[in-house]
Chain A
Amino acid sequence: MLNSAKDQPTLISLEDVQKWYGAFHALKSISLSVRKGEKIVLCGPSGSGKSTLIRCINALETIEDGKIVVEGQVLDGSAKSVDAIRREVGMVFQSFNLFPHMTVLQNCTLAPMRVRGTSRTDAERLARKFLERVRILDQAEKYPAQLSGGQQQRVAIARALCMEPKVMLFDEPTSALDPEMVKEVLDTMIGLARDGMTMICVTHEMGFARQVADRVIFMASGEIVEEAEPEVFFKSPKHERTKTFLGEILAHH
């Protein structure tokens, strides 16, 4: 563990969250609370609901029942609460989702200018600061298609950081990358973790989980099956499904 988040106030809390896709029960009574500065790794087999879970936190998905609170703001489905929460929560997607018709710099300045009303000069200063932090400032004038996958994902991280969020959600940020590019993105995320960012990462990168996670949460069939500190989680998983999953995933690493 990099720092202790134990005494920090709760930043995100989910209580008894239920999510259905038609007849499919995607999230079953999920309760979770994340303290400021905590780094959480969510793992589990595909279709277990881990991506759905983090997508509910910034209202990309709606929930059928339960309660989500971010920084004291209850997500009640109103436009106001959605706005307030999205201002505090940044997200990085598996497929980067950079805006292809804008340069790297424009990708980073758009939201601060449009959402926060930051002037272009200030937005560009901010963007350059975060592009430098993800070590890609030299590509600022290029278009996403001119960059490698790893570079694009680092730009996506910088773009989210430009809104100066309190929490960062990562939805399988390295799954679409060629193996040689995984490390540069993980290094960026580790750097972010070291700087104290609160992070919830859906990932199968167990090395990353070991290195930075305060807690590893294992999900299966829409439920939280097990959660523990990484050492405990990897050394002595309690549930059979966790053991099977770890067996499968560690065999490939």
Chain B
Amino acid sequence: MGPIGENEFFFLMQGLKWTVLLAIVGFIGGGIFGILIALLRTSKTKVARTITAGYIGVFQGTPLLMQLFVVYYGVALLGIEVNAWIAVAIAFTLHASAFLGEIWRGSIEAVPKGQTEAANALGLHYVSRMKDVILPQALKISMPATIGFLVQLIKGTSLAAIVGFIELTRAGQIISNQTYRPLLVFGIVGAIYFIICWPLSHAGSGLEKRMAKAAR
């Protein structure tokens, strides 16, 4: 058994950096496309609704691990050389946009119909109606679920190890193999995930409670 010293800890921190970066990329990419998905999903055009429903169905109905595989090796098969970063960023963006799109679709529909009617009666057009009236209310409604998904996404980044990414879990595995102290190493790794995710979950349920109170 080897010691777990400064170097090993530094290595884990390197892994943590990638974990956080992956989650941020997935969340931002997924957020931008997710809004688009949610808007198409709630649009008047049936084709747009059907296509986005299919998109959401595919990405919610298949494992993230498989999605990573498909993007990483699938894109390579097309003859395009992509590094792991790009492939993983694309996969996480697709994955997150499907889930966030569906969460936000629900929130948009949860905004009372009277809000749309009032906006229409005032002559507001689609862009203003969405940007100024509906989306701010929908995003507020969606906050607990959105934060919940962010927590899932942070933990889900560990799957990026499969395509050769040394993020936190993979870094832990490497250290564990070097030091033969799996329990200690993964204890530390688990604690790091917990330190990041727990405050988020806590904030999410706090928001939920406050909103439940406000709705009474």
Q: Once the chains bind, are A101 and B136 in contact (CB under 8 Å)?
A: yes
Q: Is A245 an interface residue (CB 8 A)?
A: no
Interface-side segment among A92-100, A187-195, A203-211: A92-100
Q: Once the chains bind, are B118 and A93 in contact (CB under 8 Å)?
A: yes
Knowing A101-B137, A101-B140, A110-B132, the reply to whether A60 touches B124 (Cβ < 8 A) is no
Mark contacts of A53-68 with chain B using CB atoms, 8 A cut-off: 1 yes-contact digit, 0 otherwise: 0000011100000000
Q: Once the chains bind, are B121 and A86 in contact (CB under 8 Å)?
A: yes
* Closest-CB distance, B61 to chain A (whole angstroms): 34
Which of chain B's residues have a CB closer than 8 A to the CB of A60?
117, 120-121
Mark contacts of B112-123 with chain A using CB atoms, 8 A cut-off: 1 yes-contact digit, 0 otherwise: 101101101111
Q: Once the chains bind, are A86 and B123 in contact (CB under 8 Å)?
A: yes
Task: Identify which of residues 83-123 in chain B touch chain A, using a CB-to-CB cut-off of 8 Å.
Answer: 112, 114-115, 117-118, 120-123
Q: Once the chains bind, are A58 and B121 in contact (CB under 8 Å)?
A: yes
Q: Is A163 an interface residue (CB 8 A)?
A: yes
**Bound complex: CA A115 to CA B112 (Å):** 22
Which of chain B's residues have a CB closer than 8 A to the CB of A156?
118
For residue B136, which residue of chain A has the nearest CB? A101
Interchain CB contact (< 8 A) of A163 among B115, B120, B122: B122
* Closest-CB distance, B29 to chain A (whole angstroms): 26
Q: Is A90 an interface residue (CB 8 A)?
A: yes
For residue B139, which residue of chain A has the nearest CB? A101
Q: Once the chains bind, are B118 and A110 in contact (CB under 8 Å)?
A: no
Mostly, the B contact residues are: helix
For residue A98, which residue of chain B has the nearest CB? B118
Q: Once the chains bind, are A111 and B123 in contact (CB under 8 Å)?
A: yes
Which of chain A's residues have a CB closer than 8 A to the CB of B214?
145
Mark contacts of B161-205 with chain A using CB atoms, 8 A cut-off: 1 yes-contact digit, 0 otherwise: 000000000000000000000000000000000000000000000
Q: Is B133 an interface residue (CB 8 A)?
A: yes
Task: Identify which of residues 126-154 in chain B touch chain A, using a CB-to-CB cut-off of 8 Å.
Answer: 128, 132-133, 136-137, 140
Given A114-B124, A115-B128, A159-B122, list of 19 further CB < 8 A pairs? A58-B120, A60-B120, A60-B121, A87-B123, A89-B121, A91-B121, A93-B121, A97-B112, A97-B114, A101-B137, A110-B122, A110-B132, A110-B133, A111-B123, A114-B128, A115-B124, A156-B118, A160-B122, A163-B123
A interface residues, Cβ below 8 angstroms from B: 58-60, 83, 86-87, 89-91, 93, 95, 97-101, 110-111, 114-115, 145, 156, 159-160, 163
In the assembled complex, 13 residue pairs joining A and B whose CB atoms fall closer than 8 Å, in A order, are A58-B120, A83-B123, A86-B120, A86-B123, A87-B123, A89-B121, A97-B112, A97-B115, A99-B132, A110-B132, A115-B122, A115-B123, A160-B121
